[in-house]
């Protein structure tokens, strides 16, 4: 995912000299090509993430479309005050890019488990929140972000994530991306982030007839799109590598609830969430291992 992001950002910068990349003393073996091609559009601020956001805000005030890039929690949780006041309050064109979503850095322990970021960032006004599922979605989202004028959060996996989409996808803000569809199915599985590859493997191996959608945009979610979406589904499962509180499932349920309360839909579907319970997992291991410890697993009975 991070490689797909940097490659596409490099392509965008070839025709857009307003793109500026700021890193906090990391990204080596990933960002070198961008830095070499565009030395006047690149800055390494050192291990100073909060300062990095302030620098990015200043650059954005001067007309640049700025990308700040760091590991998981460091450009997000560590910088919440700077993101809120320096970037979002002024509605500046700063893209906060975190690499290592969820348990990607599982071997480094809870300090590197990025599992609350979506919930925190989506509560900030003006902030678009994005969680692409594979390198194909990352490419499309990076291209979109290059022309988007405003604050955005882009949540990436680490490296080596499987490609799920067989070809390029067209993303529409606030809408889901169909991954696997079956006619006459009233069941849907919504997945956000790189855990989609696990979900598709599970669905395929167990021969489950359900429609699968990726959720690359957590905020905003289109009410009109979801209203139309709900007309076809009465049973929905949401899978995400994030705390259950405040995550993708929460965002979806909020929209569904408002539609129902305003009499825009007549039936409230059954929605089940597979997410991280209100708990830290103070263990080290592979991403797959900690996912299993946190209960981020599907079972056939969910789709009966």
What pLDDT, in 10s, does the model give residues 100-158? 999 999 999 999 999 999 999 999 999 999 999 999 999 999 999 999 999 999 999 98
Q: What is the mean pLDDT of the chain?
A: 96
Query: What whole-number distance in Å separates Cα of residue 158 and Cα of residue 25?
Result: 16
DSSP bridge pairs for 99: 71, 156
As a whole number of angstroms, the distance between CA 93 and CA 185 comes to 41
Average pLDDT, integer, range 216-244: 97
Helices (H) then strands (E): counts for the chain: 10, 12
Query: Cα–Cα distance between 144 and 167 in angstroms, integer?
Result: 17
Number of structural domains in the chain:
2
Domain contains 209: yes
> Is residue 32, in this structure, part of any structural domain at all?
yes
Q: Which helix (H) or strand (E) holds 57?
A: helix 49-61
Q: pLDDT-based confidence at 220, cuts 50/70/90?
A: very high
- The pair phi, psi for residue 171, each rounded to 5°, is -95, 135
- In terms of domains, do 120 and 185 share one? no
Assign residue 39 the CATH number of its domain: 3.40.50.970
Sheet with 94-99, strands from edge to edge, namely 42-44, 19-23, 65-71, 94-99, 152-156, 128-130, 217-219
Any residues with CB less than 8 A from the CB of 162 and at least 6 apart, and which? 134, 197
Predicted TM-score (pTM) of the model is 0.96
Q: Is residue 7 part of a domain?
A: yes
Taken in order 284, 289, 293, 297, the sign of the CA dihedral is positive
**Domain check: are 90 and 181 in the same one?**
no
SS3 call for 298: coil
283 versus 227: the higher-pLDDT residue is: 227
pLDDT of residue 28: 79
pLDDT at 26: 82
Q: What is the CATH number of the domain that holds 294?
A: 3.40.50.920
Residue 193, domain extent? 177-303
**Cβ(260)–Cβ(223) under 8 Å?**
no
**Mean per-residue pLDDT, 234-246:** 97
Averaged pLDDT, 1-30: 94
Contact call for residues 287 and 106 (beta carbons, < 8 A)? yes
The tokens describing 69, both together, are: 């890039």
């Amino acid at each position: 995912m991070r490689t797909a992001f940097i490659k596409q950002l490099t392509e965008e910068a070839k025709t857009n000299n307003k793109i500026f990349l700021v890193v906090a003393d990391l990204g080596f073996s990933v960002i070198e090509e961008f830095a070499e091609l565009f030395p006047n559009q690149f800055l390494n601020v050192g291990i100073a993430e909060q300062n990095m956001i302030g620098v990015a805000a200043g650059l954005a005030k001067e007309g640049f479309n700025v990308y700040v890039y760091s590991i998981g929690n460091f450009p997000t949780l560590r910088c919440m005050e700077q993101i809120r006041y320096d970037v979002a309050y002024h509605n500046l064109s700063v893209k906060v890019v975190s690499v290592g979503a969820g348990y990607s850095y599982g071997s480094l322990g809870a300090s590197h488990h990025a599992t609350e970021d979506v919930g925190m960032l989506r509560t900030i006004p003006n902030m678009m929140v994005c969680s692409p599922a594979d390198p194909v979605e990352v490419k499309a989202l990076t291209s979109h972000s290059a022309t988007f004028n405003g604050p955005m959060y882009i949540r990436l996996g680490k490296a080596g994530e499987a490609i799920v989409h067989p070809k390029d996808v067209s993303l529409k803000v606030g809408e889901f991306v169909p991954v696997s569809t079956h006619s006459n199915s009233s069941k849907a599985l919504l997945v956000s982030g790189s855990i989609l590859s696990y979900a598709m493997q599970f669905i395929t191996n167990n021969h489950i007839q359900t429609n699968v959608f990726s959720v690359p945009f957590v905020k905003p979610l289109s009410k009109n799109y979801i209203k139309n979406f709900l007309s076809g589904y009465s049973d929905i499962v949401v899978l995400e590598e994030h705390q259950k509180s405040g995550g993708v499932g929460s965002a979806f349920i909020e929209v569904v609830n408002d539609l129902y309360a305003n009499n825009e839909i007549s039936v409230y579907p059954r929605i089940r969430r597979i997410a991280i319970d209100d708990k830290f997992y103070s263990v080290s291991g592979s991403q797959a291992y900690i996912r299993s410890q946190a209960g981020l697993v599907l079972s056939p009975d969910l789709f009966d």
